[in-house]
Structure 1
């Protein structure tokens, strides 16, 4: 196939909507055509002991700084003590929904779990100064691109490995609007009851209060830009 033909095929490709059943994923194109692909296996949890990515230690320090026991955090968050203990020891990989519950139990935004120095209020965030949240299983990494946690706009760059994503439980947050842009790779994206396959260059806009989740179906690493206003992640 020539380069010209490939470009033509790319332009003619329809955006698609996924509807899942137990054995396969039914993909419905805008033109009404159906495609089927097998449901992919869930990626297993891998323990990460790197100090610079110690999410569990960050959570434990926040808990101890507030003089809270695991039992008290469990009561506030609706999560179990055993699960929270495993999270603090990096033995399990919490979903975004679970991390939000933990942050809410501490009375802080999820970005408080990002690691790295707090940048003085200015316009520029240097690449080496980005605050980051790295999941223990290394299935995704979030980088905060905006300098302030209290401004009117929040921009986050996510790098999501094949099979990685926010988790099976949808989450929502108190922002008016959110725009997601796929810089590289692909992303299965659920907003409410609807599922979309977003490919490189695609974007989606929705109300952040609608439960949503995502997963990288592979085969490549996905790079995703999240723009939220006002900040509430």
Structure 2
């Protein structure tokens, strides 16, 4: 089965358009928040205009993502672009402040979901509950993780999986070894 080729699947503009749409924003909405014209925003999404670093910071803030997700990632060979992400070419996402290091496994953010490789550092935890309008499924590859979903704490071990559908959640790795999980999140949040 042959699929239609993706139009510029790994471009900044494509990622911005996907993130904007996932948040239910129109071009006009985002342009207004950024105090920019709809035309400028449209040109950025079509890769006809390159936003400045300051623009990227403002866009990231408006979309609720880290600015690092908006930086270009390693280019894949033409025959792999939009299909394959090599281990050394994963895009870092999120913030490692709480001890969570995340990498995007999806080739870009243009799908209805994103796939994320998450490494929970030893003795790390997130203090505040996270609630987002998503459906998330995760699979623990290694380590052990305390995962609280809607007030109930569960201990996850390698091979265990979990699902969150908008419930408040938080995690902790009280162990001396990292915990590694693969998450699928819909719609994309990074």
| TM-score above 0.5, yes or no | yes
* Aligned CA distance change for structure 1 residues 147 and 186 (closer, same or farther; 3 Å): same
Post-superposition CA distance 1:74-102 (Å, at most 9, x none): xxxxxxxxxxxxxxxxxxxxxxxxxxxx9
Q: Does 1:219 align with 2:176?
A: yes
Question: In the aligned structure 2, how far is the partner of 1:172 from the partner of 1:66?
Answer: 25
Question: In the aligned structure 1, how far is the partner of 2:57 from the partner of 2:89?
Answer: 30
* Aligned CA distance change for structure 1 residues 164 and 67 (closer, same or farther; 3 Å): closer
Question: In the aligned structure 1, how far is the partner of 2:56 from the partner of 2:184?
Answer: 31
Q: Does 1:191 align with 2:146?
A: no
Q: CA deviation at 1:112?
A: 4.5
RMSD: 2.7
User: Structure 1 regions of 5+ residues with no counterpart?
Assistant: 1-60, 69-101
Residue 113 of structure 2 corresponds to 153
8 Å CA contact retained: 1:182, 1:202: yes
* Aligned CA distance change for structure 1 residues 221 and 141 (closer, same or farther; 3 Å): same
SS of the residue aligned with 2:129?
Answer: coil
Q: Does 1:135 align with 2:96?
A: yes
SS of the residue aligned with 1:151?
Answer: coil
User: Structure 2 regions of 5+ residues with no counterpart?
Assistant: 1-51
Q: CA deviation at 1:162?
A: 1.3
Residue 132 of structure 2 corresponds to 173
How many residue pairs are counted as aligned between the two chains?
Answer: 133
Question: In the aligned structure 2, how far is the partner of 1:213 from the partner of 1:126?
Answer: 29
TM (normalized to structure 2)?
0.60
Answer with 1 or 2: which has the greater Rg: 1
Q: CA deviation at 1:115?
A: 7.0
Q: CA deviation at 1:206?
A: 2.1
RCO comparison, higher one (Cα < 8 Å, 6+): 2
8 Å CA contact retained: 2:56, 2:67: no
Post-superposition CA distance 1:50-84 (Å, at most 9, x none): xxxxxxxxxxx86x33797xxxxxxxxxxxxxxxx
* Aligned CA distance change for structure 1 residues 65 and 216 (closer, same or farther; 3 Å): same
8 Å CA contact retained: 1:116, 1:130: no
Post-superposition CA distance 1:164-183 (Å, at most 9, x none): 13x110112222x2111110
SS of the residue aligned with 2:63?
Answer: coil
TM (normalized to structure 1)?
0.50
